[in-house]
Chains A and B, each alone.
Chain A
Amino acid sequence: MADRDDTPDETPETGREAGPETAAPIAVTSRLPLVVTVAVLVLVAAAPLVADAVGFSYLLGTLTRAVILGMAAVALDYVVGYGGLVSLGHAMFLGTGAYTAGILLFQYAEGTGLGTDQALVAWPAAMLVGAVLGWAFGALALRTRGVYFIMVTLAFNQMMFFLFNSLAAYGGDDGVRLSGRNRLGPLSLEDDLVFYYVCVVLLVVVLVVFNRLVRSPSGWLLRAARDNEPRLRSVGARTRRHQLTAFVLSASVASLAGALAVNESQFLSPAISHWTQSGELLVMVIIGGVGSLVGGVLGSFGLLVLEELAIEFTGNWQFFVGLGLIMIVLLARRGLAGLLLGRRRNV
């Protein structure tokens, strides 16, 4: 088909894709006012109490997962919504964090090799490993843009998935059960409610950090590069450096979410890094509203509630979740946050 010869040119493409269709720029919801963020966080904090009061206390595990995956979705939204870089590989960072913290915990319990049960060691370690991998994969993937970026991140995701599957010492593709959770000072993380609020506090920290980042010079450059990268480069801005910074931070926070997820389930399994999980994170970002940060939390609660409902009423929940996704794309373009706010676009 398009067999025109390529000049060895690594300047990233502009708005135009290789295909004939010039895909529209990503539809971005405006950043939500602070009051919405606070309201969402208050609801999140109250959720277990409400669930308990109406007799749905068994939902605490689901709510905890929603907080954790919401954190990863917020991190992904920084890259997708503000950077315009659609990563379909963020589940590999969930897996990275889960395997870093999980292996440390497993080896501590077995008394073999390097291990620790201290959250203050294991969680930063997970973030560090996530950042290093994010730097390596990000630097490679950022040599491309647009649809190539999606495919490259997805390929790296699959590579890491197979790597986790091949770790026979930690159960291979079956995974391995852990004997408990990390220890965090005087707090008892074994208590599900305490663990929930630890996750909520970390989520608040993550939201504060990303909200600051968005307003930092690096965040401005990131958004400007999303809208017109060639112009920015022509005035001498080193766009790729800021994009890589964003990707590394995002990967690191997603790894923290992975470390929390393995604590929640106390089960270390490669399933957490399956490519459809990467897709689900993107779904959360879109349901919540791209480029709204706290939308990731809305999206993650929205999706997990949708799944719970689908499981409740039918055994074929995936079918209806899939149908729901298609409906959302075709009918509700700006996500939940967009519905809440109308069609403003002044990021």
Chain B
Amino acid sequence: MELFLEQTLNGLQAGFTLLMISSGLTLIFGMLGILNLAHGSLFMIGAFVAADVAARTGNFLVALLAGVAGAALAGILMETLVIRFLYQRDHLDQVLATLGLVLMANQGVQMVWGIAPRTLARPSWLEGSVSLFGLQYPIYRLAIILAGIATVVVLWALINRTKVGMWILAGNTHRELLGALGVNVTLLYTGVFALGAALAGFAGVVSSPYLTVEAGMGDNFLILSFVVIVIGGIGSIKGAVYGSLILGLADAWGQTYLPMLVGEFTDPSTAAAIGSSLGSASIYLAMVVVLLVRPRGLYGAPSG
């Protein structure tokens, strides 16, 4: 039972981290129609900036802010210099150009910060653990879950309760009309891209204590976000929320229970090997199930 609770919380923490990345990705696709492979690079840039600032100031909050701002700034640069010219292009061109951005970013962080991997420590005030139903659980992981919930609430409020949110919704379907009403659509697009970039940067900073800050660290998160979007349906924030949580939990439970399940049938060492590969594959299995049942995702737009 304690194991189940722990794995569930771990799954939620991973899920909410993914949510911060995939919600930005899906927002950008829904509005700008861009498939941005460089979204994982924004995650990485946030982490690098934060690691650098933390090493200089020793203050996690300042580092967090700097990381988010750095990612947002990188996002604005990307949008104005490259992405903007891809809106009317086919997906192939978008893939190629954003892959170019990925290569530049991966090499760029090494040119600025060197090739040695960096680390970012948890803040001292989030060290330690709390007792939850008899389980000692790290405070920092709980904080990520709370930050994830806060992200969902803020995004929901932004989109459903503000004028900017109304523009974003309108821009999804009627962008010429929105422009005709006097909204600066170009600026709005840049803003949405920067918002997605900031969310990715935020995810990059808060995940860094569990990762090594190095080139390419965001790639796997990018691909997992794609799986989230395939599960949830593209362009749908609601889909991103459910998709992220399903994926986080499927991974955590799969990694824990599949080896045990296999262990019932074979000897421990084989079980560990088979089980762990099955566990890592569980997220893709989840995607396959969705593809078979609902090819356009749980909340995807109807076809046609």
Q: Name A residues whose Cβ lies closer than 8 Å to a Cβ of B.
A: 1-14, 16-21, 23-27, 80, 86, 88, 140-141, 143-144, 146-148, 150-152, 154-156, 158-159, 162-163, 166, 168, 275-276, 279, 282-283, 286, 290, 316-319, 321-326, 328-330, 333
Docked complex: B79-103 residues within 8 A CB-CB of A: 82, 85-93, 95-97, 99-103
Question: Given A1-B236, A140-B291, A316-B111, A279–B30 Cβ distance below 8 Å?
Answer: no
B302 and A282 within 8 A (CB): no
B296, A6: Cβ atoms closer than 8 Å: yes
Of the A-B pairs whose beta carbons lie under 8 Å apart in the complex, a sample of 27, sorted by A's number, is A1-B236, A1-B238, A5-B302, A11-B303, A14-B303, A18-B234, A19-B33, A19-B234, A23-B89, A26-B91, A27-B90, A27-B93, A144-B291, A148-B295, A148-B297, A152-B291, A162-B280, A166-B276, A279-B95, A321-B103, A322-B101, A322-B107, A325-B96, A325-B99, A326-B82, A326-B97, A326-B100
Contacting residues, chain B, for A23 (C-beta < 8 A): 33, 88-91
Given contacts A13-B303, A325-B97, contact A2 B92 (CB under 8 A): no
Q: Are the CB atoms of B89 and A24 closer together than 8 Å?
A: yes
Main secondary structure on B side of the interface with A? helix
A146 to B229, CA, bound (A): 14
Is B302 touching A276 in the complex (CB atoms < 8 A)?
Answer: no
B16 to A: closest C-beta gap in Å: 19
Contacts A4-B301, A319-B111 given; indicate if A155 touches B230 (C-beta within 8 A). yes
Instruction: List, in ascending order, chain B residues with CB within 8 A of A12's CB.
Output: 303
A143 touching B95, Cβ below 8 Å: no
> Chain A residues with Cβ under 8 A from B118's Cβ?
none
Q: Is the pair A13, B304 in contact by a Cβ cutoff of 8 Å? A: yes
Q: What distance in Å separates the Cβ of B84 from its nearest Cβ neighbour in chain A?
A: 10
| Contact (Cβ within 8 A) B277 A163 | yes
A-B contact count (CB 8 A): 219
Q: Which 3 A-B pairs have the closest CB atoms?
A: A21-B33, A322-B103, A325-B100
Against A, the Cβ 8 Å flags (1 = close, 0 = not) of B136-157 are: 0000000000000000000000
Tell me whether B31 and A19 are in contact (CB under 8 A).
Answer: yes
Known: A9-B303, A326-B100, A330-B97. A86 touches B223 (CB 8 A): no
Cβ–Cβ contact A151 & B226, under 8 A = yes
Which of these binds chain A: B61-69, B126-134, B166-174? B166-174
Q: Given A1-B236, A23-B90: A150 and B95 within 8 A (CB)?
A: yes
Q: Which residues of chain B are within 8 angstroms of A279 by Cβ–Cβ distance?
A: 37, 95-96, 99, 102
Is B181 on the interface with A (CB-CB < 8 A)?
no
